[in-house]
């Protein structure tokens, strides 16, 4: 499975989707970070290959022999990426899905509609375009907060919208950047930090143990949420 994560808007959590939602659930899929100014998935402790949107031809050449890949398209490169996809006629067929993350800000929702329309113009099938709601609060209603997108999906039927494809806000994602680890690193860590805390001799070690206990608790919740979202989106 080859998945592009894309939106004209920045700050919608494309890198969270690529690195934390998709990567741990797609085996050995390589991440390609198409960026010039965004931080990219490497900031989350993940190995990525970086290139600019203008290198689209080289990207397609690398994708063709692969069984799975994740393409994280930075907002500053979306226009070049889509323009060159149009020039390389039929190149969109190298991608199985285009995942479009969205947050509730009205401008972002408008940019999201424009992103979906741009994908449509390239001849990309509805079933390949998947919306994912990101940074949502637990008590928010998709129907209320994303009324324009829900209405667009019902009227135009240009993309797949699952109302349960919601990545909830969780401070673990910001904390991961601070420690340079991925969500997978934290959930796979079998260290008993509570026991280590009881034996810690200095304040720095105690602080580290407390931080890791808290991180692991947050990570379990986030990971369960991402499991549910992945199943809903790709079932």
Which two tokens mark 129? 């375009």
Q: What integer is the mean pLDDT of 163-186?
A: 91
Mean pLDDT over 151-159 rounds to 91
Q: Is the per-residue pLDDT at 225 higher than 90?
A: yes
Residue 56, judged by CB atoms within 10 A of its CB (0-12, 13-18, 19+), counts as: buried
Task: Read off the pTM.
Answer: 0.89
With respect to residue 214, please indicate whether it lies within any of the assigned structural domains.
no
Mean pLDDT (whole number) for 204-216:
94
Q: How far apart are CA 145 and CA 67, in angstroms?
A: 37
Beta-ladder partners of 33: 50, 72
Number of domains observed in the structure of the chain: 1
Judge whether residue 143 has pLDDT over 70. yes
82 in a structural domain:
yes
User: CATH no. for residue 45?
Assistant: 3.40.50.300
Asked if 22 and 101 count as a contact pair (C-beta separation under 8 A), the reply is: no
| pLDDT score, position 118 | 97
204 in any annotated domain: no
Q: Is residue 71 part of a domain?
A: yes
> Is residue 6 situated within a structural domain?
yes
129-136/69-73 β-pairing: unpaired
What is the Cα–Cα distance from 137 to 135, expressed in whole angstroms?
7
Residue 27 backbone zone (phi > 0: left; psi -120 to 50: alpha; other: beta)? left
The pLDDT tens digits for 54-85 are 788 889 999 999 999 999 999 989 999 999 99
Cβ atoms within 10 Å, residue 141: 10
Question: 174-192 b/e with 16+ CB inside 10 Å = b?
Answer: ebbeeeebbbbbbbeeeee
The answer for residues whose C-beta is within 8 angstroms of residue 6's C-beta and 6 or more apart is: 14, 71, 73, 78, 81, 98, 99, 100, 115, 119
DSSP helix/strand/coil, 18: helix
Asked whether residue 187 is domain-assigned, the answer is: no
Q: What is the mean pLDDT of the chain?
A: 91
Residue 38 has pLDDT above 60, yes or no: no
**Would you say residue 211 lies in a domain?**
no
In a domain, 223, yes or no: no
* Structural domain span for residue 134: 2-170
């Amino acid at each position: 499975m080859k998945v592009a994560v894309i939106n004209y808007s920045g700050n919608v959590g494309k890198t969270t989707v690529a690195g934390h939602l998709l990567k741990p659930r797609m085996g050995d899929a390589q991440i390609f970070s198409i960026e010039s100014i965004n931080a990219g998935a490497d900031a989350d402790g993940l190995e990525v290959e970086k290139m600019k949107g203008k290198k689209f031809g080289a990207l397609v050449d690398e994708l063709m022999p692969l069984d799975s890949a994740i393409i994280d398209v930075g907002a500053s490169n979306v226009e070049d990426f889509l323009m060159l996809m149009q020039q390389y006629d039929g190149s969109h067929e190298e991608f199985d899905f285009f995942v479009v993350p969205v947050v509730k800000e009205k401008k972002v929702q408008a940019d999201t509609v424009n992103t979906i329309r741009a994908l449509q113009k390239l001849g990309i099938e509805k079933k390949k375009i998947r919306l994912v709601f990101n940074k949502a609060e637990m008590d928010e209603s998709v129907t209320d907060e994303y009324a324009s997108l829900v209405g667009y999906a019902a009227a135009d039927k240009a993309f797949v919208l699952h109302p349960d494809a919601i990545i909830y806000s969780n401070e673990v994602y910001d904390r991961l950047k601070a420690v340079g680890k991925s969500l997978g690193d934290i959930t796979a860590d079998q260290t008993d930090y509570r026991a280590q805390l009881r034996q810690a001799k200095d304040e720095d070690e105690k602080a580290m143990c407390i931080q890791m206990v808290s991180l692991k608790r947050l990570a379990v919740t986030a990971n369960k949420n991402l499991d549910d979202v992945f199943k809903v989106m790709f079932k």
